[in-house]
Chains A and B, each alone.
Chain A
Amino acid sequence: MSWTGKILRVNLTEGTVAAEPLNMQWAQQYLGQRGLASKYLLEETDPKCDPLGPDNKMIMATGPLTGTMAATGGRYSVVTKSPLTNCIACSNSGGFIGAEMKHAGWDMIIFEGCSPTPVYLYIENDQAELVDASEIWGTSVWHTDEWLHNKYQDPLLRISAVGRSAESGCLYAAIINDLHRAAGRSGVGTVMASKNLKAVAVRGTLGVGNIKQPERFMQVVNENKAILAANPVTGQGLPAYGTQVLMNVINEIGALPAKNMQEVQFDGAHDISGEAMHEPRKSDGKPNLTTNAACFGCTIACGRISTIAQGHFTVENKAKYWGNSGGLEYEAAWALGADTEINDLDALTYANFLCNEDGYDPITFGSTVAAAMELYEMGVITDAQTGGVAFNFGSAEALAKAAEWVATGEGFGKDLALGSKRLCEKYGHPELSMTVKGQEFPAYDPRGIQGIGLNYATSNRGACHVRGYTIASEVLGVPVKTDPLVSEGKPDLVKAFQDATAAVDSSGLCLFTTFAWDMTNIAPQIDAACEGEWTAEKLVELGERVWNMERQYNMQAGITRADDTLPERLKSEEGAARTGPAKGKFSEVEKMLPEYYEKRGWNEDGAPTDETLNRLGL
C-alpha cells in the first residue's frame, strides 16, 4: 500500500523517540506529505501558538510515492507554523533524504517540544536516537554534513540540517538537505533551530514494500516515464537550461520584477539567464554551468551545478567555493539579480552558495536586499547601518556582503534577517515591502501576469508561485495559452492550479512532472501503489480539501480577508508598469478576489461556508 504505516514521534523536551501507527483514515483523505502533515498539524497544535515556541510542531513528511520507482518520487515536505508569515508553512524539497526516510520505514517524523541542549536525530531503519550536537552547533550546513558523514563513515547517510542563519534567528532560514536542496521558504529552518535541533541524519535500507499492485505499478510508471522523456519541456528544456530558461521569457513579456518591483523589465536579464550560464566566461573561458543534476528517482534532472571563476572577487582566496555546487534556479537568480539589478552571474552564484551553506531562502533574502537598497537610495538606511558598504542597486559587492552577514547573523545582517516586511516597518516604510502575509514574491510580476497576482494574494503560505503556477498557462501555454494581461477567467484558473498542486504536493512526486502529466497520469500510479481507489477526480477533490484545510488553519491563526491582497505598488495606478506590453497596467486583484471566493465556496469574508466544508468532509 506504499505508505509504511509508521510515524516517528520525537519529543525534544523529553528527549524521547517513539513509533506509532499512521492514521490510515486520514491517509485516504489527505494522501501524504503536504496534505497529511497539515492534517496532523491542525489536529495537534493551536494555530495561534508561537511559531518559535515549544507548542509549535514541525513535521517532516513523505508521500506514498516517495522512495518508489515512480519518476521524481523523492519529495518530502516540512510542515509547521511559519515565523515569517504566522500562517501554515509547507516547504517541499527533493534531493535524497525523503526517499531515505521512507526506506528507513517512516512516513513522517513529528518533532514536538524543544530540546534543552542542541541535538540531532539519527535514524538507521527502525532505530532512532537523539544525539548531542554541541560540537556542530554554531557551524554551517556544509560543515555539519561533512562532520556527520565522517562520524558515521557512511557516504550514503542522508542529512537535512540548519545553518548559522537559523541559529541566529533569521526568519527565513531554510532546512538544507543533501548539501544544496532546500525546504526553502517560510522559515521552516528557523523553527527547527528554535527547537535546538541541528540535523536529521537518515540511513534506510528497507526499500518500499507492499505496493498494492506491483506489476501494474511498474507498467504505469514506465509508461509515464516515457511521456516525460518525449515531452520537450521535461525531456529537453529543463535538463538543458533548468528553470533559468525563463529569465529571458519573462523579461521579454515585461513581467520580470526589477529594482524592488519598481520596474517590470531588467536590462541585464540576459547576463543572468539560463542561456548565459552555458556561455564561456571572459575571465577563464569556462561556463558558469558545470552540469545538470537529478534528485532521487528523477528522469527530468533540472538541477543546476555551477562553478564560480576562481579569480572572481567573491571567492578570491576562498578555496572552499572553487569547487562546483548547487547553482542558480530561476527564482533565486531573479531575487538575487533582477530585483537588485545585479547582472554579475558569478556574484549571484556566490550568494546562492551561501544560501545553501548556511541555509536561508534566496527569494526572501534577495527581495529583502532589494528593499534595503531602495531604502538606502532614499537615504533612510545609511552607511551607519551598512558599515560603510554602499548599498545601491546594481552593487554585486553589496549583495556578496549581505549574503555573508545573513549567513552568520552579523552586523547589518541582523536587519536583513528580518525579511523585508519587518525591515521596512523598522525603517518606517512598510509600503516598500513586496510581500503577501509577510512572505516575499517570486519572479513573476502581477502587473504583467494577472492570474499569478491573484494566486499570490490567496496563497496559504504567503506570496508563492508554486501554490498555483498559472504561469504555465498565462505565459508558457501549458496546458492551454491564456492572455496574461486580462483578469477575466483567472479566478477559475487559479483555483484549478491551486487544487491540483495541493494534490501533487501530497503524493511524493515533483510538481514539474505536470508540465507533461495531468491528473490522469498521476492517478493510476497512486492507484496501483496505494490502498483504496484513486482517480483523477478524487485527487482534485483531495487537493481542494487540503487547500480549504490550510485556509482553516490560517483563519484560526488570525488571517482575514484583508490579508488576501497585494502591496499598493502593484495594484495602483501610481505603481503601474512603466515599460513593455503591460505598460500602464496594475494588478486587478481586488476585482478578481470576490469571484475567487465565490468559486471556492467561501463567504465574502473569505471563510469556507458550511456547505463547502461538508462537501469536502472537513
Chain B
Amino acid sequence: MKITLKCFAFLARHLPAHAKKNAAEVELQEGTSVNNVIDMFQIDREDAYLVILNGVFVCSEDRDSTLLKEGDTLALWPEVAGG
C-alpha cells in the first residue's frame, strides 16, 4: 500500500530523496504501524513528538497499535511551538 509521509523541521532529513515540499509517497506492507514507519526512516521515537495521522494527533501509547492504510497521510514533527 502507499501512504504519504511528511517530515518537517529537523525531521525533514529523514525523508527519501524523491521528497518534495517535505512530503514523499512511500510503499508500505499491510499491517505497518505508526511506530514501524518512524523506525523504518531511522527517526528516534522521542524526536517524533508531534505525530499527526490524517490530521489527527496520535499519542505515543497508540503508535504501536495504530496501523496505516492505503492513502493515509502521516506527518511528523519534533517538539515545536510558536505563536
Contacts and interface: CB of A to CB of B under 8 A. Distances in A.
Contact of A238 (B12, B54, B82): B82
B22 A252 contact: no
A581 B73 CA distance: 12
Given A245-B9, A275-B8, A580 B55 contact: yes
Contact of A275 (B12, B55, B57, B82): B12
A465 B83 contact: yes
A581 B9 contact: no
Interface in A558-595: 580-581
Contacts of A233: 79-81
Contact of B9 (A241, A243, A254, A331): A241
A181 B82 CA distance: 17
Interface stretch (A79-87, A97-105, A291-299, A471-479): A471-479
Interface string B27-65: 000000000000000000000011010111101000000
Contacts of A426: none
Nearest to A472: B81
A481 B62 CA distance: 14
A270 B21 contact: yes
Interface string B59-75: 10000000000000101
- Which range contains the number of A residues in contact with the other chain? 35 or more
A101 to B, nearest CB: 25
B34 to A, nearest CB: 15
B49 to A, nearest CB: 7
Contacts of A270: 21-22
A376 interface: no
Contact of A244 (B6, B78, B79, B82): B82
Nearest to A247: B82
A4 B30 CA distance: 67
A477 B83 contact: no
B55 A476 contact: no
A252 B81 contact: no
B51 to A, nearest CB: 10
A581 B55 contact: yes
B80 A249 contact: yes
Given A252-B75, A331-B83, A472-B81, 19 more contacts: A237-B10, A237-B80, A237-B81, A241-B80, A245-B9, A245-B82, A248-B6, A249-B52, A249-B77, A252-B6, A252-B55, A252-B73, A253-B55, A330-B82, A477-B79, A478-B79, A478-B81, A481-B59, A512-B81
Interface of A: 232-233, 236-238, 240-246, 248-249, 252-254, 270-271, 274-275, 302, 329-331, 465-466, 469, 471-472, 475-478, 481, 483, 511-512, 515, 580-581
